[in-house]
Structure 1
Amino acid sequence: MKNKKLIRLFVISVLLLLLFDSIINFRYGVKRKDLVKIVFLVDGDNPNDYENMKAGAISAGEDKNCLIDFVNISKEEATEADVYFVVANHNLRYYDGTDMVDDFSLAEDFSNYVLANSDCDSILLVSSGDNKEYVNAIEGFKTSIIESGRKVEYRPLSKDVKKLKQSMYNLEQSGLFDTVIALDRPSLSAAVEANTRINPFVKIYGVDNSSEAVYYLDNGSVEALAYKDEYSMGYTAVRHALKDYSLDKIAKEKSFYYIADRDVLYSDDMEMVLFPFVK
């Protein structure tokens, strides 16, 4: 009698295990079926050059039903995916060539944000040094601002910290500008310091994502920040791809950079791409 009970328990246990295994396999099969494969085609010799972008992409895909891979563009024909991005010269674009990440687009969008969110008439663009890397950004800012009928001027200031601060102080004291857009970290710091000392009515914006810039944004010294880096490009690209497949409802705009103000400073997305200690 005892043996029969043991046999029955054994049989029931086996049946339960089989049932449990079937349920798992079914769910796993459905999950695999709906899996979204996202491939970054790297136009270069070594996909490992983009580890920061890959880290951002993987972070965005965490706990989502997706597979992310970085492969050399020469293997494009042998690589199947639902979504392709092309990585070249540390920039990112959609496979069909649209929405390429460039400084002109970032500047144009950021200037439109500034114009929509502040009552400004005369805007000053500043940088520490006359750096050629700002040429496209300056063109983007000027194009948008001039079209709006506002005044805009670019001033490359000294790389020497003391001279930079003095120049920024003189510019804000002149009263010729009501808005400053700093294109790098040193010029942003100088603009904030001058603003604190002499003219708190000048609005400050920055193209930077340093911990110092985030602090300025948090305490109200800076109105908004715009930035793109490889981590944020990889992160936002995957969020957009998942949104297209109805897996992620957070991403709203198809751009690979971000504009952050105090309203979104502590949102989930901004914590992943804005705060350096998270990266």
Structure 2
Amino acid sequence: MSAIKLALIQMRSGTDPERNLDDAEALIREAAANGATFVLTPETTTLVQKDAERLFEQIHSPDVEPAIVRFADLADSLGIDLLIGSMALKGGATSDDGRDRAVNRSHLFGPDGALKARYDKIHMFDVALGGGETYSESTNYAPGDRAVLTEAAGGQLGLTICYDVRFAALYRRLAQAGAQMISVPSAFTRPTGRAHWETLLRARAIETGSFILAPAQGGKHEDGRKTWGHSMVIGPWGEVIAHLDHDEPGVLHAEIDLDEVASARSRIPSLRNDREFTGP
């Protein structure tokens, strides 16, 4: 048995990074105190700020970002693997019109505080949902261009962020490279969360035979954004192992057995059954 005691942190991050850090740390400490050895936080853990000017006033480049040091020290002091779902950082490639852009980056810290891996969100959420609700992530964020697989809590972890979940090819690539778990830290909007959140997470689990770990932002944020919450852990057979049925901040605990990945993939060996084809 390859069991992992994990915890997903659900947050309602606001426009004050220091307060968000304090809130995240308190929940991470609670998770570790209750036995979790692998803790994951949601997308935009340190700041939810839709005003571009204020966003760039509040974020830093990676070499001077205080949250990176603080989370590394926290992982070290608690002796846990800690995935910070994402932070906005300066240093993204400029846009075609010369605008500075940030990156939306996951960080995985090991039990000794060392940075194991980082991942920049590949797919940008550029969409008009109707009713005046529009998003254009690519205006302020540069997309990543590299899939990332790393070790976490004794298993192989593929890193993704939020909107990536709609692009099945990324998940298949990670699973075929050996991912047993795939993280999906998110800040899903309420309309898309209500309609698609659970369905997409379960589909990605079934297609890849992987555990899907999806910590989320939830509720109405200070900048006016409304997110879905409902953090979830999905098993490799597509079953919901644990979930929060609300959008309030909190901790979701689950214990997973990585041996179930091999079992699911042997029952449905689709990752080995790819065929070349032509057209359309």
How does the TM-score come out when normalised to structure 1? 0.32
| Structure having the higher Rg | 1
Higher helix proportion: 1
Q: Which has the higher contact order (CA 8 A, sep 6+)?
A: 2
How does the TM-score come out when normalised to structure 2? 0.32
